[in-house]
Structure 1
Amino acid sequence: MMLDLLGGFGEKGRTSLAVGSGSDRILLDIGIKVGATGAEYYPALDGSVAGIDAVFVSHAHEDHVGALSWLLSRGYAGPIFMTAETRDEAPATLAAYADPGGFRRFPIPDDRIEIFEPGDTLKSGNLTIRTGRSGHVVGGVWFAVDDGKSRVAYSADVVPDSNVFAMDTIPHCDLLVLDASYGADPVPGAVRAREISQWVARHSDGCLLPTPLSGRSLELIAALPGPFAVHAGMRSSLEAQIGATAALLPGVSELLRARLASASDWTDADPLPALPLLADDGMGAAGPSSRLLPRADQAGLPVLLTGHLPAGSPGDLLHKAGRADWVRMPTHPTLSGNVGIWEKAGRPDALGHSCTTDLLDDLKSHIPSLRTQCRTGQRIAVPALNQGDRA
């Protein structure tokens, strides 16, 4: 089995991985890199797409699906596997992050979408692809690809200790591609959630909380200590996510449904509310928060950023200027989570995606088989990893 590292290795963004065995080849995710320009914005997919048999999309965040129209523009004409939730959310992601002309010419081809449920086992040629709930977003999954000789597990984005979402155990494998977004960050999600709750309580008379439409929004709602408002355009999506009870931990759906029902709706025409306000997206690069961040800054409204801030993004610039606070709400594994995933998978050889090189070096001290030298653009033979030196 061969892996082509097409994006997200030694970097954050444009996550994409090709898995090949014999004449069969599939793509796992096809994301973009926020803050990059030119070729670096897209996966490092050189040459023809004719050899790609199928595309499997883990979830609808921009760094995992944002280059789908770009792939279609290059001639890809095969099936695209995704959950129903990913299919429903992907058009809005592409509208925000794809090339506008490319998205108009190459929208998501509904007739080629193959819908599956988390937990399903899929087939493409001689490849068997197991799936499981990611704990990251409703409809989000990990993939484990088996060709009968070896197995590669690709976590995509996962959260093993979410307060909201359920994650299924990644199976034993020969190579594990970990979500290394946070490196060796030792602070668990419950601690960060308390920090966010305390910050919001200090600013309960009005603040802005930029957040992705899916995933982190539900984590924030669960952590909020009192009344809040949501941008009106988010409500229907949030209601749908809360209604997907199979993706959530037991009892969480009822809690979130009650909290959302009591939340106020806010629109762009309204004055800034005297309440904590959730608005998408999390970086201020698109959606309502792209308009709200400068408005809140001008009005002196406190802003709390809670996720990844690509260099040069509006949220990053505001934070660096000292006009926005930042407390990470973990929507990726912290140290204990990744060590646990690796141990349950049989302590295999491992790669880390969505992570800069310095953070990978930190994580290697806890996961000795982590291959920190792997970078976007490289090709890896899975058996060679198993037979090589683990140092």
Structure 2
Amino acid sequence: MRMDLLGGFGEKGRTSLAVNGGGRRILLDLGIKVGAAGAEYYPALAGNVGDIDAVLISHAHEDHVGALSWLLSQGYRGRILMTAETCDEAPSTLEAYADPADLARFPFPAEQVELFEPGDTLSIGGLTVVTGRSGHVVGGVWFAVDDGSRRVVYSADVVPDSNVFVMDPMPRCDLLVFDASYGADPVAGSDRARAIAQWVAAHPGGCLLPTPLSGRSLELMALLQGPFAIHAGMRRSLSAQIDATAALHSEVVPRLRRRLAEAADWHEGEPLPPCPLLADDGMGKAGPSAVLLPLADAAGYPILLTGHLPAGSPGEVLHAAGRTGWIRMPTHPTLSGNLAIWEGAGRPPALGHSCPAAALAELAPHIPSLRTDLRTGDSFTLVS
């Protein structure tokens, strides 16, 4: 089996992996890279797209699905597989991150999408693809690809210790391509959640919490203790995510339903509320937070950023100027989580995705079989 590293290797963003085996070529994810331009915005996919047999999407965040309209503009007309939740959310992601000309000509192809459930086993020619819940977002999955003699596990984005989302154990494999977003960060998610709650409590007059619509929004709702508000446009999606109970820890569902019912709706044009305000997206690049971030900054309304900040994004610019707080809300594995994943997979050869090269090097002493020399554009052959 040959892996073509199309995006997210030695970098954060445009996550995409091609697996070649069993007489087939499939793409796992197809993201864009926020802050990049030109060719670097898209996966490093050269040549005729006609040799791609299928595209499998793990979830609807921009760094995993944002290049779909671009791929269609390149002539791809093959199979596209994803869960129903990803299918529901992907159009808004493309609206925010696809090239407008590509999106106008190639809108989200709902009629072309084949749906599957997390936990399903898919067949693509000589390849068998097992899926499992990721613990990252509702409808998010990991993929285990088997050609009959070798197995590659691609984690996509996972959270082994989420208090909200369930992650299924990944199988033993011959190659593990895992979510290295946080490098060797040793701080547990519970500690970071506690720090966020303390920061919010220290700003009783209200604050802005930019957040991705799916995933981290529910994590933040679960930890907030007092009154809070949401951008009104988020309510329908948040309600649908909570109703997807198979993706959630059962004990948290009643709390999330109660908290969403209690949340105030905030509409654009209204005064900023005297309580925490959740608004998507997490970087201030798109969605309501693209408007709210400069508005809050101009009003002296405290802002707490809790996720990845690509260079040049509105959130990163404000944080670099010292005008926001930042506490990472773990929605990817920390060091202990990735060690457990690697051990459970049988300590196989490993590649880390969604991680800059320097941070990946810091992780290498903990995972001796980790390859740190491979980058986007490289290929790797897994031999028997």
TM range (shorter): over 0.9
On the 8 A contact 2:22/2:127 being kept in 1, the answer is no
1:104, distance to aligned residue in structure 2 (A):
1.3
For 1:290 and 1:118, locate their aligned partners in 2 and report how far apart those are by CA, in whole Å: 32
- Aligned residue pairs, count: 384
* 2:228 counterpart residue number: 228
For 2:355 and 2:159, locate their aligned partners in 1 and report how far apart those are by CA, in whole Å: 15
* 2:159 counterpart residue number: 159
On the 8 A contact 1:152/1:176 being kept in 2, the answer is yes
For 1:274 and 1:252, locate their aligned partners in 2 and report how far apart those are by CA, in whole Å: 26
* 1:309 counterpart residue number: 309
Which residues in structure 2 correspond to 1:316-331 (within 5 Å)?
316-331=316-331
1:142 pairs with 2:138: no
For 1:193 and 1:163, locate their aligned partners in 2 and report how far apart those are by CA, in whole Å: 10
1:21, distance to aligned residue in structure 2 (A):
1.1
Percent identity of equivalent pairs: 72
Q: TM-score, normalised by structure 1?
A: 0.97
SS in 1 for 2:291: helix
SS in 2 for 1:365: helix
For 1:94 and 1:198, locate their aligned partners in 2 and report how far apart those are by CA, in whole Å: 35
**Aligned residue identity for 1:182:** Y
1:22, distance to aligned residue in structure 2 (A):
4.7
* 1:338 counterpart residue number: 338
For 2:305 and 2:110, locate their aligned partners in 1 and report how far apart those are by CA, in whole Å: 35
* 1:263 counterpart residue number: 263
* 1:26 counterpart residue number: 26
SS in 2 for 1:117: coil
For 2:104 and 2:139, locate their aligned partners in 1 and report how far apart those are by CA, in whole Å: 25
Kindly provide the CA deviation profile for residues 152-172 of structure 1, in whole angstroms up to 9, marking residues without a partner as x: 000000000001000000100
For 1:32 and 1:139, locate their aligned partners in 2 and report how far apart those are by CA, in whole Å: 20
Q: TM-score, normalised by structure 2?
A: 0.99
1:247 pairs with 2:247: yes
For 1:260 and 1:322, locate their aligned partners in 2 and report how far apart those are by CA, in whole Å: 32
CA RMSD of aligned residues (A): 0.7
1:203, distance to aligned residue in structure 2 (A):
1.0
For 1:109 and 1:314, locate their aligned partners in 2 and report how far apart those are by CA, in whole Å: 30
On the 8 A contact 1:129/1:145 being kept in 2, the answer is yes
1:111, distance to aligned residue in structure 2 (A):
2.1
1:172 pairs with 2:172: yes
1:23, distance to aligned residue in structure 2 (A):
2.8
SS in 2 for 1:123: strand
On the 8 A contact 1:200/1:225 being kept in 2, the answer is no
For 1:223 and 1:185, locate their aligned partners in 2 and report how far apart those are by CA, in whole Å: 21
* 1:11 counterpart residue number: 11
1:183, distance to aligned residue in structure 2 (A):
0.2
On the 8 A contact 1:211/1:306 being kept in 2, the answer is yes
For 1:346 and 1:311, locate their aligned partners in 2 and report how far apart those are by CA, in whole Å: 36
For 2:301 and 2:205, locate their aligned partners in 1 and report how far apart those are by CA, in whole Å: 10
1:296, distance to aligned residue in structure 2 (A):
0.3
Kindly provide the CA deviation profile for residues 174-204 of structure 1, in whole angstroms up to 9, marking residues without a partner as x: 0000100000000010000000000111113
1:321, distance to aligned residue in structure 2 (A):
0.4
For 2:362 and 2:109, locate their aligned partners in 1 and report how far apart those are by CA, in whole Å: 42
- Contiguous gaps of at least 5 residues in structure 1: 387-391
* 1:282 counterpart residue number: 282
On the 8 A contact 2:22/2:147 being kept in 1, the answer is no
* 1:112 counterpart residue number: 112
1:225, distance to aligned residue in structure 2 (A):
1.9
For 1:125 and 1:363, locate their aligned partners in 2 and report how far apart those are by CA, in whole Å: 36
User: Structure 1 segments of 4 or more deviating over 3 A?
Assistant: none
